[in-house]
Structure 1
Amino acid sequence: MNPTCPGPTLGVVGGGQLGRMLAEAASPLGVDVVVLDPTPDCPAARVAEQIEGSFDDPDGVRALAERADALTLEIELADPDVLERVSEEFAVPVNPSPDALRTIRDKLVQKRAFADAGVPVPEFVAVDDAADLAAAVERFDGCMLKARTGGYDGRGNLPVEPGDDYEAKLAAVGAGEAGAMAEELVDFERELSVVAVRGDGERRAFPVVENVHREEILRETVAPARCSDAVAERAREVALDTLETLDGRGVFAVELFEEADGTVSVNEVAPRPHNSGHWTIEGATTSQFEQHVRAALGWPLGTADLRSPTAMANVLGDVSDPRPAALAGVGDVLAAPNANLHWYGKHEARPLRKMGHLTLTEADADRDDLLARARDLRDGLTFE
């Protein structure tokens, strides 16, 4: 559709922090956003209109399509079959495509699609029961067990070692009827990611970044990554090759492993803006969120160049029980040069729940120092 101001309305399945930041990026473009989310007064509701309903509710998706000129998503719990039917019923385009969502939301299907296309991935096998898991552990001498569907923010992933209780591991990972996937444990040097974007006949890739995880949850990202130019170029190539296996326009976040010898392989892909791309709000010429809005509408993409070295640190709930909580120490972040705080507007702090993030930018910065200072700023924040 042709860009106009005021612009069209974008419907988003999901109204969490990603939906909120999509709406914030859409507003300067004259684009209104309506979100579908089951949580009353979800984070995006502060900056967008909300329709209350589950992500896969046909009536909710229809109500969204009635209000929107185009549909997209910020969570993989959307139902691709429902999106496809509603898209045809209301003649409203959906991007990324329901087919891309079908591929990505099942991790085993995702890995098979990438392997079949020649995209480098760790070795993997399907796991339906404890006997399958035992065989995978023997084959890989330990493995990473992943639920095929429903996992996010580290949930649904567990390492498994020889001698573990395999039945208990399958139950803990939430395999359920859909089953699971076992993957070789990659001895990686660092975890990388590339936010790649497909528009209407054009592609962009943001600079390669480095991610730091603990307890399977992303804690920090530094851009650009502290890797060699050759590894960065290879990561970019793999990310764009991965993009070619998936249909539709939008942002696709490609998570990667870099091994000691420089080998790069794909861990997982998300068909939406991603936590590892939050740095782009301050650190790139066009944020991942604005790129996703542009792509979903079929508008020209912005440039994806690095504006400044950037470190991003997630602000996680540090309380023992879910409860309303206020963030203290905000003044120190606001007083720090080149620091930016993003609060997600969630009603309850929960252990390890992503409540916000901060970024620290500095031209010509030493990335080790930049990351250390971002951590210090984040660690000075507490919940009261």
Structure 2
Amino acid sequence: MSDTPTLGVVGGGQLGRMLAEAAAPLGVELVVLDPTPDCPAAPVARDQIVGDFDDEAAVRDLAERADYLTFEIELADPDVLARVGEQFGVPVHPDPETLRTIQDKLVQKRALAEAGVPVPEFRAVDDRADLLDAIESFGFPVMLKAREGGYDGRGNVPVRDETDVDDALAEISAATDGDDVGAMAEQFVEFEREVSIIGAKGEDGTATFPLGENVHREEILRETVVPARTDEATAERAREVAQDVLDLLDGRGVYGIELFESPDGDILVNEIAPRPHNSGHYTIEGALTSQFEQHVRAVTGRPLGATDLRSPVVSANLLGDVEERQSVEISGVEAVLGHAGASYHWYGKREVYPLRKMGHLTVVGDCESDAESTGDLLRDARDLRDEVTFR
């Protein structure tokens, strides 16, 4: 290994871009593999290999140039990663077996339930009859989820009554491009709030970031408020559940752990991402170590960084606000840059389409702020986001 280690990353989207930005100060260079030429990570990574995420020849090229391998997208192929990592003697983190478990939401939920981690009631759905059986068992509404491939609202469909059944099944099929990958029905959780914890597994232990409160609309994350507006006992329970999740998973790296807080303070695991997560973007300005630096530290075997919060913070996604795919013309950024405590992150995407993640902003409080001030930060973040347009 050279004095400047190279991290090979399968995926070169915005997560790869922010990984490269975080790796540089640590003396780690990135090479990314992505099918889109000049992908978002390309301008800040050392190099890009153009190829599909599951292209074994391309992954071999990546391994030949890397001291460590990781991924920033679940479309990576765990079998390919395992074979190539062994062939070239390059460590792969998180473990490909963990990726295999998490890729399939049904397999993921079964593994969590078998380990005693609290999750909503669920069952496999292979056809219409299975969905009707789940509805009979759980009652309306239920959440129908594609087992594989769904993201940013695609592949998660609420079924509120009998008239939704056929449309929901069709939507799941469309979300997975018609592939017969099956689905999972989950009991609808009447939650008090959606929350998440960014956890990390390092060579010598684990670490968790503070509990964040997530605001979704149309199944897409809009804002994350940190610390979450809940009581300390619930936050501690969430941390304990997140720790149980980390104990179950194999391989170093950062994990996004999405949770539900019930009205009586119970915590249930919704889903896990074996990579940096949208709800952890606040850590760049809001925590002593960002989730991206933490991931680089973890997968390269370096000590984990401190996860303390610098101050209350809110992050807000900047989403495509157009009616159809088109070239990007950004305006309103000056409002963000002119606001004390606000930071702007552009993902480098040249085309915009409805609800595409184009960037995010954060607004931090001062060091004297307390958790109650997050309401003001949330209002400021929403106002600033409304100033930014992509058309």
Normalised-by-shorter TM-score class = over 0.9
- Which residue type is aligned with residue 121 of structure 2? E
Alignment-mate amino acid for residue 367 of structure 1: T
CA shift at 1:299, angstroms? 0.7
Amino acid at match of 2:296: V
1:195 alignment partner, one of 184, 193, 198? 198
Aligned AA (1:99): E
| 3-state SS, counterpart of residue 34 of structure 1 | strand
Which of 314, 319, 340 does residue 317 from structure 2 map onto?
A: 314
Matches within 5 A, 1:34-45: 34-45=31-42
1:326 to 318, 326, 329: 329
How much does 1:245 deviate?
1.1
Indicate if the aligned counterparts of 2:204 and 2:303 stay in contact, CA closer than 8 A: no
**Are the counterparts in 2 of residues 137 and 161 from structure 1 also a CA contact under 8 Å?**
no
> Unmatched 5+ residue regions in structure 1?
none
Given that residues 252 and 273 in structure 1 are in contact (C-alpha distance below 8 angstroms), is that contact kept between their aligned partners in structure 2? yes
The code of the aligned residue for 2:162 comes to G
Aligned to 1:373: 380
For residues 334 and 169 of structure 1, what CA distance do their matches in structure 2 show?
42
Q: 8 Å contact 1:190–1:258 — kept in the other structure?
A: yes
Which residue in 1 is equivalent to 2:4? 7
DSSP 3-state at the match of 1:225:
coil
Cα separation, 2, equivalents of 1:321 and 1:214: 20
| Amino acid aligned to 2:28 | V
Question: Residue 298 of structure 2 aligns with which residue?
Answer: 295
Structure 1: distance between partners of 2:111 and 2:170? 26
Counterpart in 1 of 2:145?
146
Match of 1:96 among 94, 97, 113: 94
Q: Any residues of structure 2 matched to 1:1-384 within 5 Å, and which?
A: 6-48=3-45, 49-142=47-140, 143-174=142-173, 176-363=179-366, 364-365=369-370, 366-384=373-391
* Structure 2: distance between partners of 1:166 and 1:130: 8
Shift of 1:170: 1.5
> Which residue type is aligned with residue 287 of structure 1?
S
Per the alignment, in what secondary structure is the counterpart of residue 158 of structure 2?
strand
For the Cα contact (< 8 Å) 1:127–1:180, is it kept in 2?
Answer: yes
Aligned equivalents of 1:348, 1:136: Cα separation in 2: 40
AA aligned to 1:29 is L
Q: CA deviation at 1:136?
A: 1.0
Equivalent AA in structure 2 for residue 355 of structure 1: M
SS at structure 2 position matched to 1:25: helix
Provide the C-alpha distance between the structure 1 equivalents of 2:342 and 2:203, rounded to a whole number of angstroms. 34
Spell out structure 1 runs of 4+ moving beyond 6 A.
none
Count, aligned residues: 381
State TM-score, norm by structure 1.
0.98
Q: Deviations over 1:247-271 (max 9, x none)?
A: 0000011000001000100000000
Q: Is the 8 A contact 2:33 2:62 kept in 1?
A: yes
Q: Shift of residue 164 of structure 1?
A: 2.3
TM-score in terms of structure 2 length: 0.96
CA contact (8 A) 1:137 1:162 kept: no
Identity %: 65
Q: CA RMSD of the aligned region, Å?
A: 1.1
Q: CA deviation at 1:165?
A: 4.7
Contact 1:114 1:242 (C-alpha < 8 Å) held by counterparts: yes
